[in-house]
Structure 1
Amino acid sequence: MIDVILPDLPERTLSLPSEETPLPLVPALTGRVVLGGPVSVPVTAELVGGDPELAAFLRAEAHSTVYHLLHCSVTCARDAPDPELHTVNLDLSLSAEPVRDGATAFQPVAWSMTPRQRTEAADDAPFAPAAHLGPRLGFLDNGRADPGTRICLEARRELCSDPGWEIRHTHVRIGGTYRLAMVVRAPREAMTRVAVAVGATVRDGHTLHRFREEIADPLPLMAPR
């Protein structure tokens, strides 16, 4: 196992325009959600050198596969006016283009994600400054919550090319900073990119109003040399 320090991230305040047409019933949620990152670093032999098992796994995969650590965060204002946020979604889209003639062997996927789930009971607990990578470059966390537990943060679509996280209003209001990390598995002879979008909903009675912002310029994941 190795510890991965979660870095400070560049932040941008989102506008989150309404998806309703022709005229939105609720104005844009400007300033209520801040996106941190994403930033990425390649998983190299130096990074995992302190763990022989991880180093051996990386060598065995090196002929066809590269791995990246992707970090991002979502910060939601605690003192925002009504209506309260009902959900906030961070949606990623992973794609790869071959850098040489021929098709890529496979599409990049979210190999492992953390947190997988976070309950409302833990919502006020601070996020740890480090994540832990265990066997086969999988994050070690508390896994799945007990049945019946209210989930306020959940990883979605792990092992897929369209992963993300959903933050939910439970008895606890959405607010504060949510630190998120992912291991991306990608083909070696390809340029992998990550496109990011952030969505949100607010509830007005029994009606949900939807908002979404696509982030320009997908992030390229630089392969190790």
Structure 2
Amino acid sequence: MIDVILPDLPERELALLSEETPQPTGPRLAGRVILGGPVALPVTAELVGPDPDLLDFLRTEADNAVYHLVHLSVTCARDTPGPVLHSVNLDVTLTAEPVRRGGTVFQPVAWSMTPRQLTGQAVAGAAERAAHLGPRLGFRHGVPTAYGERVWLEARRELRSDPGWEIRRTSAVRIDGTYRLAMVVRAPRAAVSRAAVAVGATVREGHTLRRFRHELADPLRLAAPR
């Protein structure tokens, strides 16, 4: 197992457009969500070198696949005037194009994601500074969720090309503070891979839930290891 220090991330404040009237002149949700990243780091032999098992796994995959660490964060401001945040979603779309014309490749997938689940027993808004990579480049997770506990942060669609996380307001936890997120992406070696990111949010106004969304214009290119 190795510890990976999560890097400082460039941040941008998002103005999410209404999904009901998504025109630029329609309603917006501004000043409530800040996105950090995304930033990608190739998983190299130097990175996993301290763990012989991880190094062997990387070598067995070397002919077909490469791996990337993708880091993001979401910061939510609870005290900003406006409706209460009910949920926040971060969605990633992974794609790959062959390097040579006519080539075929498999689609990248979220090989492992962290956090996988957080419950009311965790500290909301805590920003972890390290992630732990164990066997086969999978993140090591903490104590499993106990029966009956309300999950307020959850990784979704692991091992697929459309992974993401959902942060939910519960009776015990409000959406507030910074949430650090990371995934290991398995991608084809003979391809140019990219990660497109979108952020959604729902707010409650009385008994009505209103949905907003922002899609980053430029997908993140996942640079192949040298």
Q: Is structure 2 residue 29 aligned with structure 1 residue 53? A: no
The CA distance in 1 between the partners of 2:90 and 2:61, in whole Å, is 29
Match of 2:204 in 1: 203
The CA distance in 1 between the partners of 2:32 and 2:125, in whole Å, is 21
Match of 2:190 in 1: 189
Structure having the higher strand fraction is 2
The CA distance in 1 between the partners of 2:153 and 2:4, in whole Å, is 21
- SS at 1:4's partner residue? strand
TM-score of the aligned structures, taking structure 1 as reference length: 0.95
The Cα shift of 1:18 comes to 1.0
- SS at 1:60's partner residue? helix
- SS at 1:58's partner residue? helix
Size of the alignment, in residue pairs?
224
Match of 1:222 in 2: 223
The CA distance in 2 between the partners of 1:141 and 1:181, in whole Å, is 12
Q: Per-residue CA shift, 1:163-183, capped at 9, x if unaligned?
A: 000000002210100000000
The Cα shift of 1:16 comes to 0.6
Report percent identity of matched pairs.
71
- SS at 2:17's partner residue? coil
The Cα shift of 1:123 comes to 2.8
Match of 1:78 in 2: 78
The letter for the 2-side match of 1:4 is: V
Whether the 8 Å CA contact 1:116–1:143 is kept in 2: the answer is no
- CA, structure 1 residues 144+159, in 2 after alignment: closer, same or farther (shift >3 Å)? farther
The CA distance in 2 between the partners of 1:201 and 1:175, in whole Å, is 14
Match of 2:135 in 1: 135
The CA distance in 1 between the partners of 2:7 and 2:164, in whole Å, is 19
Q: Per-residue CA shift, 1:177-203, capped at 9, x if unaligned?
A: 000000000000000000000000011
Whether the 8 Å CA contact 1:123–1:152 is kept in 2: the answer is no
Match of 1:152 in 2: 152
- CA, structure 1 residues 125+85, in 2 after alignment: closer, same or farther (shift >3 Å)? closer
The letter for the 2-side match of 1:166 is: E
The CA distance in 2 between the partners of 1:191 and 1:133, in whole Å, is 25
The Cα shift of 1:28 comes to 1.4
Whether the 8 Å CA contact 2:98–2:105 is kept in 1: the answer is no
Describe how 1:1-225 pairs up with structure 2 within 5 A: 1-21=1-21, 27-124=27-124, 126-142=126-142, 144-171=144-171, 172-225=173-226
- CA, structure 1 residues 77+22, in 2 after alignment: closer, same or farther (shift >3 Å)? closer
Whether the 8 Å CA contact 1:111–1:182 is kept in 2: the answer is yes
The Cα shift of 1:60 comes to 0.1
The Cα shift of 1:204 comes to 2.1
The CA distance in 2 between the partners of 1:48 and 1:210, in whole Å, is 41
The CA distance in 2 between the partners of 1:215 and 1:142, in whole Å, is 31
- CA, structure 1 residues 22+200, in 2 after alignment: closer, same or farther (shift >3 Å)? closer
User: Which ranges in structure 1 are unaligned for 5 or more consecutive residues?
Assistant: none
TM-score of the aligned structures, taking structure 2 as reference length: 0.94
The CA distance in 2 between the partners of 1:119 and 1:29, in whole Å, is 26
The Cα shift of 1:125 comes to 6.8
Aligned CA-pair RMSD: 1.7
The letter for the 2-side match of 1:129 is: R
